[in-house]
Structure 1
Amino acid sequence: MMWTPRVNAVLGSIVVTVGFWLTWGEMSPALMVGLALGVAVALDWLGSTIARVWAWATLLLGLESLAWPIVTMVRIRMTSAEPSDQEMGLILTAVLFGLFSSIFWLTFSYGIFKRMVKQDSSPKQG
Structure 2
Amino acid sequence: MQYKLALPVRGTIGTAKYQCTIKWRNGRFIADEPPSSGGEDQGPDPYTLLLSSLVTCTLVTLRMYIERKGWEIPEIKVNANMFQEKKEDGTHTIIDRDISFPGNTADAEQKKKLLSIAKNCPISRILEGEVKIRSFMMK
Identify whether the pair has TM-score above 0.5, normalized to the shorter chain.
no
* Highest RCO, 1 vs 2 (Cα 8 Å, sep ≥ 6): 1
**TM-score normalised to structure 1 length:** 0.34
Q: Answer 1 or 2: which has greater strand percent.
A: 2
Q: Answer 1 or 2: which has greater helix percent.
A: 1
